[in-house]
Structure 1
Amino acid sequence: MRLTFLGTSAGKPTKERNVSALALEFDQDNKWYLFDCGEATQHQLLKTSLSIGKLAAIFITHLHGDHYFGLPGLLSSKTLDKSLAPLTIYGPKGLNKFLPCILDISHEHLGYELTIIEIEAGASFHFDKFSLKVLPLVHSIESFAYYIKEQDITNKLDEEKLRNNGLEPSQLYGELKRGNDIVFEGKEFISREYMLEPIKGRRIIIAGDNSDPEVLSSYLDKLDLLVHESTYTQEVYDALPTKFLHTTAKALGLSVQKHQVKNLIATHISARYSKNSDYTAQDICDEIQNSYKNNCFIANDFDRFYLSRDRELTRI
């Protein structure tokens, strides 16, 4: 799995960070998936190798502007790029009002089939490489996390064993994968004797704005990767005259340590944390790591990460 962060700021863009957007790619797949689409996401895409033409679906976590105001421009550019493959957008109730209104007022004729699916907590969807479940979060408006479970690989042959027993790669391998026993040069090959143990699919959560990581409960237990907001350090949050429903680095660190999450990427960083400020993103990282002892990163715009099948997360 590869993740490309196109925007990592909270609420508004800064000189260092654009607002929320994240691209997800799967191994041996030429499609990719977009999670949130803040203003100017299409500009961010121009600085990457990601193609709008290969965008398979968009998932919006909630209807605050910094998470979806980039949709109209992106959809229009898809038309101008002559990329006319159908596209489906998943998001909270209200999306089916917003997008048709914008497209109608601007007389925008997309030229491709656009499907809008308004989601509810508990809904499940199935795709070529993964299944997805919608989980509820705690925020000032309805907000969701997406629990993504990659398909298990169950038809992997022990090719070395087959070669050692005299069967070189051929169409007969396909028969064995389908569970059919075969006879080759007078020797019987029993399918189950040449199948490797299933390779378990990776499990990740991409969360929208959320004040309480514990609401994700058992889904966090030994999760392979959590992508979650960490808008403030606890000190800054405690000093705010008006409290907002966002997670602090302290709360996030305690939660992921409790549930033994294997890897964490913190994003949605307040504009207070910048190179020219008294506060930096390193403060957020340090506060998380006061509690969390596994692999932790603070996402920056255009950071790319790879989650391997052995569950190691690396910045690439």
Structure 2
Amino acid sequence: MKFTFLGTSAGRPTKKRNVSALAVEFENESGWYLFDCGEGTQHQILKAGLSIYKLKAIFITHIHGDHCYGLFGLITSRMLEGCTESLLIYAPKGVKEMVESVVDISFEHLGYKLEFVEIYGGFEEEFEKFHLKVLPLIHSVPSYAFYISQKPKVKLNARKLQNDGLMPGIFYQDIKNGKDVEVDGKKYIASEYLDIREGKKIIIAGDNAEPDFLAKYLENTDLLIHEATYTEEVFEKLETKYLHTTAANLAKTAEKFRVKNLIATHISPRFEGEEILEEIKKFYNGNAFVANDFDVFELKEELRRVE
């Protein structure tokens, strides 16, 4: 899996960071998925070299502008680029009505079909390469995390089959699909010829005051992408305590539930990012990063930042 951070700032853009947006690509799949779409995301997509034609679906965590105001321009630019493939937008209640009030989304106007799917805590959907479940969070408006379970990779042990007397043919696909077969009186048990590698478990969270609210799904998660808007020191000095996470809180939760990899994003404009990472490393012993705009990460056996 590949993760390209298109926007990593909280609330408003800075000279170095745009507001929230994340592109996700799955191995051996031609398209890509967008998680959140803050204002200016279409510019970030161009700079990152992603194809707007291959955008398969958009997932919005919540209705705050720094997570969804980019939808207006992106939807319209997709029309101007001549895209004809339909586009799915998974979003909380209110996003569809907001977009409709700004953009004429009729098929005659856009030239492609735009479908909104309203999400809620517990919503689930199957995709080609993964299963998605929506998890509720704690924020000032309904906010959600997307729990992504990558589908297992199944490899057929053809050499073992041949050694046991079954040459390549139509039965190979049946066995790969988990079906036992009988050929010339000999039975081949599918499970004995399959190498199954479990898929990765990923959480992409929207704004959330309490990371441990995700406790049920955090245990040994392969990757948690979560906001770390403030350091503990700055948060304590705020006159108004907004419902966001501190780096320390995020790190302690990730350590408690043995999260394997952690990427912090949604960084307050008052920080460069190093302060956030420094605080995370005080409490979390795993593999941790603070994302910058246009950072690219690959998750295979391990998570690594692509240089």
TM-score per shorter chain, which class? over 0.9
* 1:231-289 deviation line (CA, Å, top 9, x unaligned): 11101111122221110001001100000001000000111113xxxxxx111111111
State the secondary structure of the residue aligned to 2:78: helix
State the secondary structure of the residue aligned to 1:266: strand
Decide whether the 8 Å contact of 1:150 with 1:201 is kept in 2. Answer: yes
Decide whether the 8 Å contact of 1:19 with 1:67 is kept in 2. Answer: yes
**Cα distance 1:99–1:286, how it changes in 2: closer, same or farther (>3 A)?**
same
Percent identity of equivalent pairs: 52
* 1:87-130 deviation line (CA, Å, top 9, x unaligned): 11111111121111111499992111111112111111111111
Point out the more displaced range, 231-240 or 167-176: 167-176
Q: TM-score, normalised by structure 1?
A: 0.91
State the secondary structure of the residue aligned to 2:199: coil
Q: TM-score, normalised by structure 2?
A: 0.93
**Residue 242 of structure 2: aligned partner:** 244
Decide whether the 8 Å contact of 1:175 with 1:182 is kept in 2. Answer: no
Given the alignment, which residue of 287, 294, 302 partners 1:295? 287
**Residue 314 of structure 1: aligned partner:** 304
Decide whether the 8 Å contact of 1:266 with 1:298 is kept in 2. Answer: yes
Measured after TM superposition, the shift of residue 165 of structure 1 is 4.5
- Which amino acid is 1:174 matched to? Q
- Which amino acid is 2:83 matched to? S
Counterparts of 1:114-193 in structure 2, within 5 Å, are: 114-153=114-153, 155-165=154-164, 169-178=168-177, 179-181=179-181, 183=183, 188=186, 190-192=188-190
Stretches of structure 2 lacking an aligned partner (at least 5 in a row):
none
Q: Distance in 2 between matches of 1:242 and 1:132?
A: 34
Stretches of structure 1 lacking an aligned partner (at least 5 in a row):
275-280
**Cα distance 1:105–1:146, how it changes in 2: closer, same or farther (>3 A)?**
closer
Decide whether the 8 Å contact of 1:172 with 1:182 is kept in 2. Answer: no
Decide whether the 8 Å contact of 1:76 with 1:108 is kept in 2. Answer: no
Q: Does 1:261 align with 2:251?
A: no
- Which amino acid is 2:40 matched to? A
**Cα distance 1:261–1:101, how it changes in 2: closer, same or farther (>3 A)?**
same
Q: Distance in 2 between matches of 1:13 and 1:290?
A: 28
* 1:24-77 deviation line (CA, Å, top 9, x unaligned): 111110111100000110101111232111111100001110000000110111
